[in-house]
Amino acid sequence: MINKAIICDFDGTITETDNIIAIMKRFAPPEWNELKDDVLSQRISVKEGVGSMFKLLPSSLKNEIIEFILTHAKIRSGFEEFVQYTKDNHIPLYIVSGGIDFFVYPLLNGLVDEKQIYCNRADFSQEMIQIEWPYSCDETCKNDCGCCKPSLIKRLTDNEQGKIVIGDSITDLQAAKLADLVIARDLLLEKSKDLQLPHRAFTTFYDVIQVLDSLEEVKA
């Protein structure tokens, strides 16, 4: 696979755990749990669920939430080396995340250029936090994703490029179906096995580098 592009998830992939869940556990009233269950059982869309969860939080908590995330979120090991690897090998890297700008950007500050990051946005100008969706589904996606990974893959890559999707969860599945290779952990790994998508497993980003290196060797 000579010409390739990488589409990498953020929550639970670059970070070790899900930041939206961490924020809700710490700051939201108990109602958020029901919304989470509704999303997981697909009674409501990710967009509706996440939007409604953040509306449970007053905008005045902004700084406290950012401080909490910066203190508690952990970047998975090898990520910095992985980013360097993509630069050294001229592989386009796109971070495509259902997370929100106010925690995604600070956590990736100094690691990934903002131009490579595609995520949702928070508006703190009203009493409660409002989420904005700059990368909603195109006309071919009916999932009401919020940040639509399939739509972004189609927009960011061309037919010549081998598409490598890195992710951890059910929210990466539609993107994984468009991929030439999925590098997966956790639930996405199970799903990739079930659906027999071409895939490799990873735990750290050192594993990811090894997988990418093995693709280079095939070429040579």
Candidates 51, 96, 100, 168; binder of Mg ion (CB under 5 A) is: 168
Residues comprising the chain, all counted: 220
| CB distance 74 to 15 below 8 Å | yes
Candidates 45, 59, 130, 143; binder of Zn ion (CB under 5 A) is: 143
Could you give the CA distance from residue 113 to residue 109 in angstroms, rounded to a whole number? 8
Could you give the CA distance from residue 180 to residue 46 in angstroms, rounded to a whole number? 25
Establish if 145 lies at the interface with Zn ion (CB under 5 A).
Answer: yes
The string of DSSP letters for 31-46 reads HHHHHHHHHHTTSS-H
| Interactions with Zn ion, residue window 56-85 (CB under 5 A) | none
What minimum distance in Å lies between the beta carbon of 56 and Mg ion? 21
61 touches, from Mg ion, Zn ion, none (C-beta below 5 to 8 Å by class): none
Hey, which residues does 8 pair with through a beta bridge? 95, 166
141 touches, from Mg ion, Zn ion, none (C-beta below 5 to 8 Å by class): Zn ion
Establish if 174 lies at the interface with Mg ion (CB under 5 A).
Answer: no
What minimum distance in Å lies between the beta carbon of 171 and Mg ion? 6
What minimum distance in Å lies between the beta carbon of 218 and Mg ion? 28
Establish if 11 lies at the interface with Mg ion (CB under 5 A).
Answer: yes
DSSP state of 215: H
Number of residues forming the site for Zn ion (CB under 5 A): 5
Establish if 141 lies at the interface with Zn ion (CB under 5 A).
Answer: yes
Could you give the CA distance from residue 8 to residue 14 in angstroms, rounded to a whole number? 8
